[in-house]
A and B are shown apart, each in its own frame.
Chain A
Amino acid sequence: MTVAENLFESLRLELRRGSLTLAVLAQLRQEHYGYTLRKDLAERGLEIDESTLYPLLRRLETQGLLVSQWREEDKRNKRFYRLSPEGEQILIRLLDEWQAINASINRIFEQPQS
């Protein structure tokens, strides 16, 4: 990788980091377990590595934004996650924040270049 590509990759990861949390919280308005969550996000255009997603779910649960339970499905024990009440409130606020940032960036791009 060239220096410019390395720089882009580093900035791209930074940009994605916050967005991934928002996407995961939004998707967990419905119950998922790790693998199906990853599949659903990928179908909606957001690819996440397993090694990033699964620890993220744990971290969000530790922060009280998600709740989980083990359940048997298709003869296999799986850990299902969904938003906690606190997670729902945080999601709404994060979504507002994200939309505000999005609108600001659009306005910046729309302004004429002097």
Chain B
Amino acid sequence: MELLDRYLQAVRKYLPTRRQDDIIAELRANMESQIEDRESELGRPLTRGEMEDLLRKMGSPVIVASRYQPQQYLIGPSLFPLYLYVLRLVVLWTLIIYSIVIAVVLPLASPDHSDIAASLLRTPGVLINVAAWVTLVFVAFEFFAARYPEKCPPLTCLADNWNPSSLPPLEKADVTGRKPRSFTQAVAEVVVGFLMMAWLLLIPSHPFLLMGPGVVVLRVAPYQLAPVWWTFYWWIVGLNVLQLAWKTIDLARGQWQQPAPIRQIIFKAVGVIPIALLLSVRDHIYVVLKNPSADQLRYGHNLDVINNSIHLGFSVICAIVVVQLAWEIGQIVWNAYRLREAAK
């Protein structure tokens, strides 16, 4: 019986404190009866191996004790859908607000932008923190609802008291034939847009964000970027600001399901301008020498190759973008024609 005593001692450790003695006494009585029955069938005491088999069949002490706990979950099935909904909403809005703070408030507060990178890296921690607090609140509610049901309002009333007439109108597919965007998608686009803005604004002072370890090469190489890149850079920033502003306005006005296709085409068309700007640079000068007088002879040929390669690269990109734009314009026109024919 020493093994039984050790088993019951182990189970006791994980039992609710108030009922330990009672539960262990009952378990002992039942198991001793079982052992007695088995021994009278065999006509002899159980061997150690047989005793171990019996205890193994009973189950691990932790599992056995856990079944005596009143509640086997942190957030129960009736509360879980609401918890999930609130969690998604809170995390999404935290992400939006935090992104706005990083992209707009921090640059104004710290001109050297030193806090922005650190704040970006803190984003996962902030979101986990918020999710943990929401979870804690719901766990607390579940705990009190289980123990004091008469004091907690029934949450089923939230599910029961809804009006079918207040359902949103039927969503139509947009003229490109794609499914309407979800709220989550629209929010994610805005959040990513703000994070992209922060990243873009940091690049001039922290070039490693764009080039990674390659920034070392840029420092030691005899080349440097031509002034045209600043024009290109500010065009990109301007376009991003414009696009982000439109997306944020759409989200605030509740019009995220159907982004205006014409506006998307306009953004894409305007996006060709900075590429065209680069292609129109005189003599295709994108990279210059830091010390032309000293390095022209040695690196002049390489410089030509680099500049021509960049020009070729951007020519290809421009061609791809133009073809893509033409294709999307064609798709919109075709789908609009199809919808008009179907409506007749």
B63 and A50 contacting across the interface, CB-CB below 8 Å: no
Q: How far is the CB of B283 from chain A (nearest CB, A)?
A: 66
18 A-B pairs with C-beta separation under 8 A: A33-B29, A33-B33, A35-B29, A35-B30, A36-B33, A50-B31, A50-B57, A51-B59, A51-B67, A54-B30, A55-B68, A58-B68, A70-B25, A76-B29, A76-B32, A77-B25, A78-B26, A78-B29
**Which residues of chain A have C-beta atoms less than 8 A from B31's C-beta?**
35, 50
B58 and A50 contacting across the interface, CB-CB below 8 Å: yes
B54-67 contact mask (Cβ, 8 Å, vs A): 1 or 0: 00011100011001
Give the dominant DSSP class at A's interface: helix
Number of interface residues, chain B, beta carbon within 8 A? 19
Q: Which of B13-32 contact A (CB under 8 A)?
A: 23, 25-27, 29-32
**Which residues of chain A have C-beta atoms less than 8 A from B27's C-beta?**
54
Q: Tell me, yes or no, whether A111 is within 8 Å of chain B by CB.
A: no
A58 and B23 contacting across the interface, CB-CB below 8 Å: yes
**Which residues of chain B have C-beta atoms less than 8 A from A39's C-beta?**
37
Number of interface residues, chain A, beta carbon within 8 A? 18
**Which residues of chain A have C-beta atoms less than 8 A from B224's C-beta?**
none
**Which residues of chain B have C-beta atoms less than 8 A from A50's C-beta?**
30-31, 34, 57-58
Measuring CB to CB, which residues of chain B are less than 8 angstroms from any residue of chain A?
Answer: 23, 25-27, 29-34, 37, 57-59, 63-64, 67-68, 70
**Which residues of chain B have C-beta atoms less than 8 A from A34's C-beta?**
26, 29-30
Q: Tell me, yes or no, whether A49 is within 8 Å of chain B by CB.
A: yes
Task: State A55–B23 Cα separation when bound (angstroms).
Answer: 9
- Ordered nearest first, which 3 A-B pairs have the shortest CB separation? A55-B67, A35-B33, A34-B30
* Given known A58-B23, A58-B68, A77-B25, contact A51–B58 (CB-CB < 8 A): yes
Q: How far is the CB of B286 from chain A (nearest CB, A)?
A: 57
**Which residues of chain B have C-beta atoms less than 8 A from A58's C-beta?**
23, 68
Q: From the candidates A33, A49, A62, A77, name the one contacting B59 in the complex (CB within 8 A).
A: A49
* Given known A49-B59, A79-B26, contact A35–B34 (CB-CB < 8 A): yes
**Which residues of chain A have C-beta atoms less than 8 A from B23's C-beta?**
58
**Which residues of chain B have C-beta atoms less than 8 A from A36's C-beta?**
33
Task: State A62–B129 Cα separation when bound (angstroms).
Answer: 37
A17-49 contact mask (Cβ, 8 Å, vs B): 1 or 0: 000000000000000011110010000000001
Q: How far is the CB of B75 from chain A (nearest CB, A)?
A: 20
